[in-house]
Amino acid sequence: MENSDSAIPPPSVKKKNVTPINPKIAELTESRQELFSRIQNLKQDLQNWRMKMDTQVKVHRDELSELKKSLNTEVDQLRSEFQELRTTLQQQQEDVTASLRNLGLQDVSEEPKGAEGPKNVEMAQNLMEDESKETHE
C-alpha cells in the first residue's frame, strides 16, 4: 500500500500547484486585453493617418490640376500672341516690299546685278527711316 499511497500526492501539494495558475491566467488575460486595446488604438491611428493622407493627396492633385489648366491657358495665349506677331511681321514685310516696288526699287533677291542692289536697298532703308521719323513726330 505504500506504493499506492506514495503515487498519489497529498492534497496540500495539489493546492500549491493550482493556486499559482489562477493568478497567471488572470495576468495573461489582462496582458492580452492590453495588447488587444493597443492594437485597436494602432488600427484607429492608422485609419486616421490614411484619411489625412488621402485628403492631402486630393488637395495636392486639385492644386496641380488647377496649375496645369492655368499653364495650358497661358501657353495657348502665348502661342496666339506669337502667331499674331508672325502675321504682323509678314504683313509688314510684304508692305515694305510693295513700297520698295512702288518706289521703283527691286528686292535684293530679285536683282543679282551687284553694285546697284545694295545702293537701292540702302536708299530704301533711308526712305523707310525718314517715313518712320515723320510718323512718330
pLDDT tens digits along 94-113: 999 998 888 887 544 554 44
Exposure of 39 in the CB half-sphere (CA atoms within 13 A)? 6
pTM exceeding the 0.85 threshold for the entire prediction:
no
Please, what is the end-to-end C-alpha distance for the chain in angstroms?
Answer: 142
**What is the distance between the alpha carbons of residues 115 and 137, in angstroms, rounded to a whole number?**
34
Q: In the structure, what pLDDT confidence band is assigned to residue 35 with cuts at 50, 70 and 90?
A: very high
Provide the residue ranges of all domains of the chain, joining segments of one domain with +: 2-102, 103-137
Which pLDDT does position 66 carry in this prediction? 97
- Each residue's pLDDT tens digit, 45-80: 999 999 999 999 999 999 999 999 999 999 999 999
